Amino acid sequence: MTRKARRRLHPIAIMAGLGKELKNMVVPLLVIMAAGSRHGFSWTDILVPLAALIYTLVMGVLSWLRFTYEWDDTCLVVEEGVFVRKKRSIPLERIHGISVTEGIWQRMAGVVQVHIETAGDALGEAEVTLRAISREEARRLQRCVEQAKHKAENASHPEPLANRPHPALFTLSMKEVWVASLTSGGALGVVAALCAFLSQFSDFIPYEALVRDIQSTWNGHGRWYIALLILSILLAAYGVAIVQNMIRYASFVVRKQEDTIVIARGWLERKAVSVPVDRVQGVVIHENWLRRFFGYASVSIIHAGGALDGGPSGEVVLCPLVKKHRIVPIVQACLPEYRLDVPFCPLPQRAKSRYMLRPLYWLTIPVGVAAYMERPWGAGLLFVLPLALWIGARRYQAAGWALSSKQLSLRNGWFRRTTAHLLKRHVQSLEIATTWWQRKKQLVTISASVMPVGTRSRVVDVDEEDAASIYRWLQGEKGDQT
């Protein structure tokens, strides 16, 4: 294929870019206008917001006019910049991930937004974003990237990739989407986002007076009203989190296209994420206590790149909700090298007391003070202490590790149990740390990290000899077999 003529994005890209910029400007502009109106309204108070709005509109149009792109069999070329012209040439075989999104603006025009990620980009940011191109162009670009990778690996494919059927390996029904949303536990994230938004108006909302009113209400035996208010806020946040997750995980499907895992999902904003198998650094299984009670879990894959799916950098959700007995065949179909049905080695018995006592270190004093101040009914809070001991014992039973010739598996947690499976060749570092109290019992903490930097799994209070065997395993040759 010869290189195409330089092309511009669809004009709807102007609206998509302006929408994003204006959303980021709303709070600062409101603060500026509110600060100016404190001493009486004046037309000069809107000059700065109006100038910022006009500047944003002009720059949006100019940025669209100055943005061009083209590609051929070997590389993608992008030119952009209003005042400083920047040209980037990206070899197709260096593209590690492609995320296709259909936002509201794109769906109105029948186009898609494409995020292209390479090894050299900053975590969480796409190397190139094509805000509005046709669906057919996006598919052609994906095929060109896959063909370039196969050529780089000297692989031959007699049948065109587009003509091969790709059955779904995993889908979510509407009932499962509903269950996944109910058990996601995202209410605290909504509350944190609300608090972060309200903090922008600290100069205009009398928070100190509100705190004093709450204290006086509490001292005036209005604590039940405050508790009811807090409960109402949490329930409302829980409802918002449910709606967010239902919109996000609607029409969720996973397919395997040659050596690429394609994950599509979304309702209002449709998104398709492509993750090459050779970029996968590990498999992580999450089980919160509620999902575990009903026999469910969620599965994520760690990839060497940014946040393709809008989650944490380097992590993409493979299965938002899945029965535990289905995890092994799904992962085997996507990533044949990984073995998830491995027997875990438990922690030594002498570590159990440390797990049971650890929650008491930070609970005993607050619970004791609260029980004393709210006596006699506050004495009921003391039941939290034996509950903490029981939870510590459960965390001890859940923790463990497993080792094979090519894979390390680490498990920890109880409320949110996390099991990480890491291939030997992807482990970037293995850290063995010990405290003074651990040395007395010959225990250590082991943590293994993979790409991207900061993606780490760990287990506390592992036997010293077991940690030494894991360290020797990592130091051995990559091709060792048991």
Write out pLDDT tens, residues 33-83.
Answer: 665 555 555 666 677 777 778 888 888 888 888 888 888 888 888 888 888
Between 384 and 237, where is the model more confident? 384
pLDDT at position 130: 86
Tokens of 138: 């996006």
pLDDT (average), residues 448-469? 87
How far is residue 457's CA from residue 450's CA, in Å, rounded to a whole number?
9
How far is residue 72's CA from residue 52's CA, in Å, rounded to a whole number?
39
Phi-psi domain of 393 (left: phi exceeds 0; alpha: psi -120 through 50; beta: other): alpha
CB 76 within 8 A of CB 69: yes
- Classify strands 86-91 and 95-102 as parallel, antiparallel or unpaired: unpaired
DSSP run (H or E) holding 446: strand 443-450
How far is residue 450's CA from residue 299's CA, in Å, rounded to a whole number?
17
Residue with tokens 């494919």: 157
How far is residue 455's CA from residue 429's CA, in Å, rounded to a whole number?
11
Residue-averaged pLDDT of the chain: 79
pLDDT (average), residues 184-198? 56
DSSP run (H or E) holding 317: strand 315-323
Between 38 and 286, where is the model more confident? 286
Count of Cβ atoms closer than 10 Å to residue 257 Cβ: 15
391-424, pLDDT tens digit by residue?
A: 999 999 999 999 988 999 999 998 889 999 999 9
Return the amino acid letter for 108. M
Residue 97: closest CA among 301, 283, 339: 301
Q: Which of 153-157, 212-216, 304-308, 402-406 has the highest mean pLDDT?
A: 402-406
pLDDT at position 162: 45
DSSP run (H or E) holding 86: strand 86-91
pLDDT at position 442: 94
pLDDT at position 479: 44
Identify the DSSP state of 30.
Answer: H
pLDDT confidence bin for 219, thresholds 50/70/90? low
Cα angle 366, 372, 376; round to 5: 130
pLDDT (average), residues 328-357? 93
Between 294 and 221, where is the model more confident? 294
pLDDT of residue 451 exceeding 90: no
SS3 state at 471: helix
119-175, pLDDT tens digit by residue?
A: 554 444 457 888 888 888 888 888 888 787 777 665 444 444 444 546 788 888 888
> The whole model's pTM is what?
0.69
- Strands in 345-346's sheet, in edge-to-edge order, are 315-323, 296-303, 280-288, 416-423, 407-412, 400-403, 345-346
Identify the DSSP state of 154.
Answer: T
Tokens of 362: 């930070």
CB 300 within 8 A of CB 286: yes
Residue with tokens 């996944």: 180
